Chain A
């Protein structure tokens, strides 16, 4: 079974982060999708959402601090709720109460992983109950990986507000970003997931690109072991 579609890279329209959810809608039997990135200190930012309900479901979970989204982050595995009304909501009781009042009848959350680092979550919903097939789950997992790569590329290149890179990045995360992530994980004695978030957070605070900061880490002119302000 081979499904390759050529011609996606027709540079006519530069890719934008707000299209990150598009592949999920096109290739999976779902009605809505949102993509959010983990930022420092357990916060998150929604980078792409298909509609108001997708945004609402995301916001609800963020406000309550629980739900399939957080469960997927915690387990680093897909969380599938094929029937919202019949589901056991004991893991997320408050969200369980709230979600039954929405039009979402099935929820699926997939962690976005870049290598060993979890950088975000893709949340999908359906308007009718129903399972995702094994193949759909495999496809969604792969799409979440692709979205993670692209989201990280945006993050890596997003320099100090000069907008040079924000419209045209596709797959350009340089290897030193990943190498620096591994080095920071050791320097801070933490996971690569946290290390990547710290790398992004530091870049944001000092107003430089992740790419630049990663270069300094690899060159050993910047060490996260020391206080970095």
Chain B
């Protein structure tokens, strides 16, 4: 791959992550963007992201697909795995060949079953505080290059700084409370997708597009729209998406 093209992709990635850090940004949106951008940039096949809730438990907040989601959930359920380890230690974890790994059997079995051969986990940390971890999964064995490792960690750092420095932080609001709200938003968006899918007959992917487009064209926060849809106080017009499906 040409060096120039890589540089261009790299700048674009930082711009994209930084771009979500505008006023009144949505943590869910930021972390979705982070995991997607990192997955693309280092040529991984999938990614997932965990953050801590106020009680100190890790929760899934973002994933690029079902397979990555499954692998992350298995780690949460087993209480162990590379992302859990990365969260606990605040250090990156590299598994170049999952079939050769003898730690975390539940994670390894699940990852292999989903077709993944290698994984890299990156902590979301700032000055000794770790708020979560991101896992990037690949269908082939091997380590990420030094520069790819550095890039993914740098992007994770940017996102973490964004979260921890956000605000003005209201006096009564702890970062963990903010992270819990992000976890709530994630759920509300899924519930709203279900509501839209059942109302319109659209699939869940299209349901999300309907939700996102409505929020964007009305300059509303995605979570706010999702909440009204889930509460069923707002019904979105859907004809445009259905006819172009």
Instruction: Give the B-binding residues of A (Cβ under 8 A).
Output: 1-11, 14-15, 23, 27, 113-117, 133-135, 137-139, 141-143, 145-147, 149-150, 157, 165, 168-175, 178-187, 191-192, 218
Contacts and interface: CB of A to CB of B under 8 A. Distances in A.
Query: What are the 5 A-B residue pairs with the smallest beta carbon separation, nearest first?
Result: A182-B194, A8-B56, A11-B79, A115-B187, A178-B190
B47 to A, nearest CB: 15
Interface stretch (B9-17, B18-26, B135-143, B224-232): B224-232
Contact of A183 (B58, B169, B177, B198): B198
Given A135-B171, A135-B172, A139-B177, A146 B129 contact: no
Given A14-B79, A116-B231, A185-B232, A146 B194 contact: no
A5 B175 CA distance: 11
A43 to B, nearest CB: 23
Contacts of A14: 79
A153 B55 CA distance: 15
B206 interface: no
Nearest to A147: B55
Interface stretch (B37-45, B82-90, B146-154): B82-90
Nearest to A5: B56
Contacts of B50: 171
B195 A9 contact: no
Contact of B194 (A147, A171, A178, A191): A178
A15 B183 contact: no
Contact of B57 (A9, A157, A168, A173): A9
Most buried by B among A134, A145, A169, A191: A145
Given A146-B183, A186-B198, 17 more contacts: A2-B175, A6-B87, A6-B129, A8-B52, A114-B184, A115-B187, A115-B227, A139-B174, A141-B177, A142-B177, A149-B59, A150-B55, A170-B59, A186-B195, A192-B195, A218-B194, A218-B204
B157 interface: no
B195 A185 contact: yes
B184 A9 contact: no
A115 B184 CA distance: 5
A146 B173 CA distance: 15
B69 A174 contact: yes
A134 B164 CA distance: 21
Contacts of B99: none
Chain B at the A interface: SS class: helix
Chain B residues touching A, range: 35 or more
B29 interface: no
Contacts of A116: 188, 191, 227, 230-231
A191 B175 contact: no
A179 B197 CA distance: 9
B80 A11 contact: yes
B130 A4 contact: yes
Contacts of A146: 53-55, 57, 59, 180, 183
Nearest to B54: A142
Interface string B149-189: 00000000000000010000101111111001101100110
Given A1-B171, A115-B187, A149-B53, A179 B129 contact: no
24 contacts: A1-B169, A4-B130, A4-B131, A4-B175, A7-B88, A8-B52, A8-B55, A115-B188, A116-B230, A116-B231, A142-B181, A146-B57, A149-B183, A168-B79, A171-B53, A171-B59, A172-B74, A173-B187, A178-B194, A180-B194, A181-B191, A182-B192, A184-B194, A185-B198
